[in-house]
């Protein structure tokens, strides 16, 4: 259902809001990247955004990589004129039992470390949140790479997901 055009002062019922589903994408396949720090679009994690709209963003990335090596850096490609503030909650770089919470804007990547028991087969999670206001329609595209180039790939796993709920 398209977002309805409401007039200023119009009464909006909860049922009307509940009828507007969020835009959701779930990653269908693992994607691995090794020996690269060049941010590149994920082939599965993108969302279409409408012009002149505001969204709340949330999602979760399940990822793996060699313990305390490679890491993960994230950023977004956004439609022209988009204002966005976003953050992650994930393990800090450096292999410590620390938690990193970063807030950023598109074009300023943030990083997360690999954690847990270590190795490429243990998944770590990274929680994404944000607020987006668009001017033009276009695609919100997750871009990512290793934080430090390493021969063992960093992998974002299938079942990672993104969701945008239009709020205006």
Rounded distance between C-alpha atoms, residue 149 and residue 72, angstroms: 10
Name the nearest CA neighbour of 140 among 87, 79, 83, 81: 79
pLDDT of 79 higher than 90: yes
Give kind and range of the element (H or E) at residue 51.
Answer: none
Query: Per mean pLDDT, which range of 15-29, 43-57, 141-155 is the poorest?
Result: 15-29
What average pLDDT does the segment 143-153 reach?
Answer: 90
State pTM to two decimals: 0.84
Name the nearest CA neighbour of 111 among 122, 126, 121: 126
Tell whether domain 25-166 is in CATH 2.60.120. Answer: yes
């Amino acid at each position: 259902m398209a977002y309805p055009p409401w007039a200023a002062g119009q009464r909006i019922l909860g049922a009307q809001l509940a009828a507007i589903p969020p835009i959701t994408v779930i990653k269908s396949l693992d994607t691995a990247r090794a020996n690269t720090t060049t941010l590149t679009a994920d082939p599965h994690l993108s969302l279409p955004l409408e012009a002149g709209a505001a969204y709340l963003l949330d999602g979760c990335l399940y990822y793996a990589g060699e313990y305390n090596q490679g890491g993960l850096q994230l950023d977004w490609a956004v439609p022209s004129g988009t204002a966005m503030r976003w953050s992650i909650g994930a393990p800090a770089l450096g292999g410590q039992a620390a938690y990193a919470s970063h807030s950023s804007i598109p074009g300023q990547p943030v990083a997360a470390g690999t954690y847990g028991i270590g190795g490429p087969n243990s998944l770590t999670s990274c929680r994404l949140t944000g607020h987006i206001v668009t001017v033009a329609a276009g695609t919100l595209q997750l871009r990512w790479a290793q934080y430090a180039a390493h021969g063992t790939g960093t992998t974002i796993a299938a079942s990672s997901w993104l969701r945008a709920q239009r709020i205006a």
